[in-house]
Structure 1
Amino acid sequence: MMIRLFRHGDGSGRIAVRYLLAEEVAAYDEERRRTKGKTEVRTVLPEVLQGDPEQTIALIDSNFRKWRYTSGVLAFAAEDQPTEDELISVMDDFERTVFAGLETDQYNCLWVKHEHKGNVELHFIVPRIELYDGAAFNPAPPRSESYFNAFRDYWNTAKAWASPNDHNRRRTLRHVFEQEDRTQIRDAIRAHVISKIELGKIRDHKDVLAALKELEEDGMEIKPPRPSKRPLRSLLRRLSCG
């Protein structure tokens, strides 16, 4: 099982929830890039496990702050095959972890199960608002990756579920340098770095450089940053004064 937080969160709640529940949606490739003009039909329809879609929509769309909701997914490998009781336990434990210190009526969380890709995915969407007084609330603040990773690793160990840390499950990096579109190249590099962050392997600038080094080993040329001219100018100024 792995946890992924999506970057969206400043749009319409109705559009976001309808996408989770739709029978036919836009098609994406293996790198999560939208395939223009193509759609896919969810042969297994989405199922609401917990929460009220209309209530979640109303809370999101009544929030006039920039960031209105947080969404993500708990994705299980096809071989994990969690039971219904295990899914309920995971969702309840996730809420106890993420909303620690809050009462159950202080937050709203919608859970939708997807199975059309051959594995179980628990999608969640949380309005970024505390329900007692309407204060802004962020369930996934910056640098919280280790918190989510600890939750993931606990359940994977307890249930012997597939772990994204398993070297044998590492996805083969596409040869992004062979693509013609510079936007696609940037997206592929960004996806590579984000995957490392999700695995807890990137924590600082040094780790980012190491991740980019992997791309070079895969055949992509990455030019080093241009050296700053400020030190040279400062040296010339001191020499001229001397």
Structure 2
Amino acid sequence: MASFERVLMPGLDKDQYSVLWVEHQDKGRLELNFLIPNTELLTGKRLQPYYDRADRPRIDAWQTIVNGRLGLHDPNAPENRRVLVTPSALPEAKQEAAETITRGLLALASSGEVKNRQDVTEVLENAGFEVVRTTKNSISIADPDGGAKHPT
């Protein structure tokens, strides 16, 4: 935690900021969450502890070093990426449908029948789905029952 604070707050002494750390293991693993008030303690002026564009490369480098030093897996490694990402509030029936579609596509990819994104789009359309959006990282299909679109 101390090394993370030093990397997150370079140039600040410990008495210039306050941080609250919360440790919990409710998911069967250690998780550390933190909260930093946006106030520099000595002056009372606004403090922005993290600005993504400027700070992400430094924090990512720290994470890589710590993971290597402690022998932890890299959460950003390609083999650790999720195949299916769905909204947490997705109804169970739609979640199951997304999982079924994904399993089918993975099976077709394993057998060599699906080799690229265009193949995925064609398989979905041939199965009766309407592809409504494609981005670099996702393909969205229309809900056959109407309603919002969800990435598959």
* Range into which the TM-score falls when normalised by the shorter chain: 0.5 to 0.7
Q: Which amino acid aligns with 1:152?
A: Q
Q: What is the TM-score with the length of structure 1 in the denominator?
A: 0.37
Percent identity between matched residues is 33
1:156 pairs with 2:67? yes
Counterparts of 1:145 and 1:100, CA distance in 2: 13
Question: Which residue is equivalent to 2:51?
Answer: 141
Counterparts of 1:164 and 1:151, CA distance in 2: 13
Q: What is the deviation of 1:174?
A: 3.7
| Pair 127,175 (structure 1): closer, same or farther in 2 beyond 3 Å | closer
Counterparts of 2:12 and 2:37, CA distance in 1: 14
Question: Which residue is equivalent to 1:170?
Answer: 81
Counterparts of 1:128 and 1:215, CA distance in 2: 35
What are the superposed Cα offsets for residues 103-160 of structure 1, whole Å, 9 maximum, x if unpaired? 1111000111010100110110000100011111111013022121111111011111
Q: What is the deviation of 1:166?
A: 2.1
Question: Which residue is equivalent to 1:215?
Answer: 138
What are the superposed Cα offsets for residues 204-232 of structure 1, whole Å, 9 maximum, x if unpaired? xxxxxxx923312xxx259xxxxxxxxxx
What are the superposed Cα offsets for residues 150-176 of structure 1, whole Å, 9 maximum, x if unpaired? 111110111110111222211122467
Counterparts of 1:161 and 1:147, CA distance in 2: 19
Question: Which residue is equivalent to 2:10?
Answer: 100
Gaps of 5+ in 1: 1-90, 181-210, 223-242
Q: Which amino acid aligns with 2:82?
A: R
Question: Which residue is equivalent to 2:122?
Answer: none
Q: What is the TM-score with the length of structure 2 in the denominator?
A: 0.57
Gaps of 5+ in 2: 92-133, 143-152
| Pair 133,214 (structure 1): closer, same or farther in 2 beyond 3 Å | closer
Q: Report 1 or 2 for greater relative contact order, CA contacts < 8 Å, sequence distance ≥ 6.
A: 1
> What is the alpha-carbon root mean square deviation over aligned residues?
2.2
Q: How does 1:116-127 map to 2 (within 5 A)?
A: 116-127=26-37
| Pair 213,100 (structure 1): closer, same or farther in 2 beyond 3 Å | closer
Q: What is the deviation of 1:97?
A: 1.0
Q: Which amino acid aligns with 2:56?
A: E
* Corresponding residue SS for 2:136: helix
Counterparts of 2:63 and 2:29, CA distance in 1: 17
